[in-house]
Structure 1
């Protein structure tokens, strides 16, 4: 079904894939059958969302000229654009009886006429099921790179993402920092409050970390009660500010079950990319800083610069 959010025309895709107008006076699409057949065939050639929308954007120009389109799916944190934004727009919700597949907005410098809206809605009916399949494929891929308990990225996702970001940061001369985060005395949480409480602490702590970072940053579960946060375009000072925000936010959280109330703290090690770094050396320096934070009494943030100073003192 294609439901308009900001237009007067409406069209509906029934299970038999027939388009019916809602209302006797609604305009019917005026589209060549061979255009719909060609468009439907091309949309079946990919499961990649960006490519699917690119094909749709290019092919519909034969029936309705549009300057650009924007696809949004808030649950999957997706925002994909083709072409350019313009002053006038019309938005539609894509859905079947079982699935919501996001909102699609068309942009144009001039207003859409009624017969153009009818044609857009007819064209959209060819997109509904390919979009559903592409979203399911996207969600399956995302699940393969996500820790099932916390929703943070897993080690496979970390290895792929961090390697790419280190390479890009070096190539373009950009800053990159990582935080190694450990929940203090986590074994005691499991021993004294039970594993279900331990699972809740891990999940809520991961949610808290994600809420403290920017959209360009990423949180990964490194293993057990350890997490790694990758901070794009963040120098040491910026990384330390975010680390302190995470530390304070987690320490403010309160958990409770039949065995009583619980508060947890974190120790955080911070490292910023250097010219000679690779992914292993960057993570190792953050891990060393984390060790110093735990060795120094826990519930604190230590940077790799601090550990270098401490090591020189020891020498």
Structure 2
């Protein structure tokens, strides 16, 4: 029986002295025994936290009591153990990094695409005048995506603005954007509107809420999440597996981090190749002197490492 919860949430709401807020909020989370990662910026909050059901309820009630965050839609998963090892609450320039920091151009508090509840999204997604747009990164949509969705070749959400020209061919369509929890869609849909796309919508609460309220119908594969679970099931109606092992090509839903900490790439790998390569993405990584011990999960507690700019491994909590 699950005795823990994992909460996924975000809120675009102005926070004065956000840096001090982050420090105070970290103390509050630790006082409840929570683990997780929260990003705080002047534009709002972006977090995933995990703890006992009682601690999570206290957290939600306290956050909702603050009028700035009263409208937060917490997505709650029951889990058998906490989804993080430590608690981090950090101040950053944006709660989801996009490089779009001019509030006169992109401001989710003022303009975004029309929010569609999961069942509304399900009713619209297959229409001929609609394009379903996945605004997540490659490693996310390679694991799972909506059937017939348009996906983008981007390593991080900050690459999304550069894709606008490629999307211009869909300007005569209704654009339905989606992401994991909804946070990326707020800025993606705002940018699309700014660039002249006339009808832009977004899936309220993202894939996670869609799974809970619409059974995840037609979401193919699993959904990547930014905690030690790495992925979760979404579709209880017509599930399929679409991801394949990077090393041998066999179908597999399992995503791991490369055991080489200087690579740390997220990729899909079957158990057989995982055992053979000891959780590494390549022979080169397998022979790396700092290779971590592979325990079959492919999840490792993060430690500071030199950035390898040649790898697609600069994943951020904000990038969801």
Could you tell me the TM-score, scaled by structure 2's length?
Answer: 0.24
Structure number having the greater helix percentage? 1
Higher alpha-carbon Rg: 1
